[in-house]
Amino acid sequence: MIVVTGAAGFIGSALVWRLNARGWTDIVCVDTPASAEGNANLAPLRYRAYLQHEDFRARFRAGKYDGQITAIYHLGACSSTTETNWAYLLSNNVEYSQELCTLSLARGIRFVHASSAATYGDGSRGYSDDHASTPSLEPLNLYGRSKQEFDLWALAEGHLDRIAAVKYFNVYGPNEWDKGDMRSMVCKGYEQIVQTGLVKLFKSDRPEYTDGGQMRDFVYVKDAVDMTLWLGEHAEANGIFNVGTGEAVSWNRLIGAIFLALGREPNIEYVDMPAQLKGKYQYFTQAEMAKLRAAGCDVAITPLEDAVRDYVRNYLMTGKRLGA
């Protein structure tokens, strides 16, 4: 049996889809009460059971699944970068994760935990997933802090020698509709083009970046889950690992790829950055991928334009979910 937490969400449902594609259906999906979008994500997929996370937590603690679970992919968390309730994040993102990790290790279960590139903050301290750099990182928001707290705890407890913690960079792709305003710019950009014929991007207030020239490491969700599953299947590969492409791409190129997929000429309007984002906006992210590659992960990265084309034409234009 495999357990996937956050299974109704974006990356979680994509991981269940990929497991199904490999012939695996003995899956327990765990999440909060699913929204309409979450239910739609899971509807085409095959799995043993769906449990609310507190129900699973109680059953797991009580040993209900002893001897049955081979791996837990713990992707469930509050991922809002604007969440301000630290007590909630501490309970939901940190303490819950710590308990699942501790119990998994005690029972010989492979544990893969979703950290985040948000732990890298403004990037001034680099994007190395080397453990020695972890304590020096300064996240820009409480969500990033919650992920950093787990990583620091796992490092202090010596657990990073026995688990994999993945730092997802900017993941985009099908099944992200439940993320609301946290959806990728591919999804939101497509909607803007359909509705208005143009896409709005933030102006740059740093001279070294042109408007729309701010850069991020955008990784297609299909590639991200393949790397995650690789780590789950290789118990010898432990520690913190970046999950990205290793290539920083400008917002202008990303939006250009959407227009290209639609057969249209780019039409971009640059708008002032909101005051609440100034000082908290990442101008550059780029995953250092050498550690994951050195561990033996050979998952191929889909070129940006090809991935955006697949997403736009096969999912956004059709409204289909993964597995439908």
Active-site residue, selected from the candidate residues 73, 96, 120, 143:
143
Active-site residue, selected from the candidate residues 65, 179, 270, 283:
179
Three-state secondary-structure class, residue 116: strand
Structural tokens at position 201: 């991007």
- Cα 147 from Cα 150, distance rounded (Å): 5
- pLDDT at residue 263, rounded to an integer: 97
Domain locations in the chain?
A: 2-172+218-244
143 part of the active site: yes
- Cα 76 from Cα 87, distance rounded (Å): 17
315 part of the active site: no
- pLDDT at residue 166, rounded to an integer: 98
Nearest to 60 by CA among 88, 91, 101: 101
Query: By the 8 A CB rule, do 147 and 115 touch?
Result: yes
Structural tokens at position 102: 């501790």
Mean pLDDT for the stretch of residues 301-317? 98
The annotated binding site is made up of 10-11, 31-32, 75-79, 92, 147, 170-171, 179, 181, 188, 202-205, 216, 281
Q: Return the minimum-mean-pLDDT range out of 138-147, 202-211, 266-275, 277-286.
A: 277-286
Mean pLDDT for the stretch of residues 101-114? 98
What kind and span of H or E run contains 101? Answer: helix 96-106
The annotated binding site for NADP(+) is made up of 10-11, 31-32, 75-79, 92, 147, 171, 179
HSE-up of residue 106 (Cα within 13 Å, Cβ side):
10
Mean pLDDT for the stretch of residues 60-85? 94
Is the pTM of the predicted complex or chain greater than 0.85?
A: yes
The annotated binding site for substrate is made up of 170, 181, 188, 202-205, 216, 281
- pLDDT at residue 276, rounded to an integer: 80
Structural tokens at position 150: 């787990």
Q: What is the CATH number of domain 2-172+218-244?
A: 3.40.50.720
Does the pLDDT value for residue 279 go beyond 80?
no
